[in-house]
């Protein structure tokens, strides 16, 4: 596997600790560069991130040694977010075990962890996640954008199916891990339907999701837009024209049905008792860790 040089792995901390509002993360890191899920909408293809050949996954040289040095050197600890730019459970991780090694270090040095993923490989590390959760907060966020597997395979062609991710969600629940869904992006004119939203929420409730956090729209810029439009022409003929007419070259592309869909989403989440507000989600997983710690005592 190709290696790239890296001076640091962990970002954040120091004066910035506690200011990462995304699910209460205090630090962030990406253990790999690139991703091979092939999602047609991925924002990480944008040129501003300077990731050449995004579909080719690369590892960072001496990543665990660098990470351990950084973890040992922090005066303040907190929750480490993993996988914002590149799915940390890509297919190479099965052999490389870089993410597993990072979780062992996170456990050893007393940090919490939050993981964004589309992969069921996260289940391999249930033992480590449970161990970390015994002393620090843990939250797993599985991205699910489609209730229907066939539609999901068109927009996320090489990722595990939605059905497989829902089953993984249930396994995480059984293991006592605080887990839920990133329902994003909901793509304009593609999966922004009431049936899709109610379907996801119903399946989330069935598989014991603690939360769902949505985005009723997407972002589009430069290279990402070119790639997305090319895929629309292939999978959804005629949809590109709708985007060009409505959004032109704007960055934030909200679904034309966003307001109605969000209202429906709120109603469905309340019906099933699923958290959907960021502050409630953060309080939920940090409170669960406190309760687990008290039970251990």
| Buried residues in 277-292 as b, exposed as e (16+ CB within 10 A) | eeeebbebbbebbeeb
CA 157 to each of CA 152, 161, 269: distance values in angstroms, whole numbers, following the listed order: 7, 9, 28
Predicted confidence (pLDDT) at residue 297 exceeds the cutoff of 70: no
Instruction: Please count the helices (runs of H) and the strands (runs of E) in the chain.
Output: 11, 12
pTM across the whole model: 0.93
Check whether the bond before 173 is cis (ω within 30° of 0): no
121 closest CA partner among 136, 144, 99? 99
Dist. CA 141–CA 154, nearest whole Å: 21
Question: In the numeric block, which tokens belong to residue 80?
Answer: 């480490």
Give the least confident one: 39-48, 116-125, 228-237.
39-48
Neighbours of 206 (CB within 10 A): 12
Q: Are 26 and 10 in contact (CB under 8 A)?
A: no
Q: How confident is the model at residue 287 (pLDDT cuts 50, 70, 90)?
A: confident
Supply the pLDDT for residue 223.
84
Structural domains of the chain sorted by starting position, each given as residue range(s) with its CATH number in brackets = 3-296 (3.20.20.70)
What are the pLDDT digits (tens) for 162-200? Answer: 999 999 999 999 999 999 999 999 999 999 999 999 999
CA distance 226 to 229: 5
pLDDT band of residue 19 (cuts 50, 70, 90) is very low
Q: Tell me: the pLDDT tens digits for 208-261?
A: 999 999 999 999 998 899 999 999 999 999 999 999 999 999 999 999 999 999
């Amino acid at each position: 596997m190709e290696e790239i040089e890296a001076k640091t792995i962990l970002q954040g901390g120091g004066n910035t600790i506690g200011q990462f509002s995304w699910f209460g993360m205090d630090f962030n890191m990406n253990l790999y560069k690139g991703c091979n899920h092939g999602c047609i909408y991925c924002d990480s293809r944008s040129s501003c991130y300077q990731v050449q050949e995004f579909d080719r996954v690369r590892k960072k040289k001496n990543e665990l040694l660098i990470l351990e040095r950084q973890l040992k050197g922090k005066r303040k600890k907190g929750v480490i977010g993993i996988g914002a730019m590149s799915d940390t459970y890509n297919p190479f991780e099965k052999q490389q075990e870089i993410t597993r090694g990072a979780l062992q270090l996170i456990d050893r040095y007393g940090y919490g962890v939050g993981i964004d993923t589309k992969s069921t490989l996260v289940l391999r590390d249930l033992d480590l996640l449970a161990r970390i959760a015994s002393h620090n907060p843990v939250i797993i966020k599985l991205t699910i954008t489609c209730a229907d597997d066939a539609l999901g395979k068109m927009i996320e062609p090489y990722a595990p199916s939605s059905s497989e991710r829902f089953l993984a969600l249930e396994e995480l629940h059984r293991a006592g891990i605080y887990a839920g869904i990133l329902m994003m992006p909901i793509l304009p004119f593609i999966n922004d339907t009431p049936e899709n939203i109610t379907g996801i929420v119903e399946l989330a409730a069935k598989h014991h999701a603690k939360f769902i956090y949505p985005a009723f729209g997407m972002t589009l810029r430069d290279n990402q837009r070119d790639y997305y439009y090319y895929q629309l022409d292939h999978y959804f003929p005629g949809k590109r024209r709708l985007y060009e007419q409505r959004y032109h070259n704007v960055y934030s592309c909200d679904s034309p049905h966003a307001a109605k869909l969000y209202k429906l989403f709120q109603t469905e989440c309340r019906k099933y008792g699923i958290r959907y507000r960021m502050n409630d989600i953060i309080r939920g997983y940090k409170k669960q860790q406190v309760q687990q710690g008290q039970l251990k005592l």
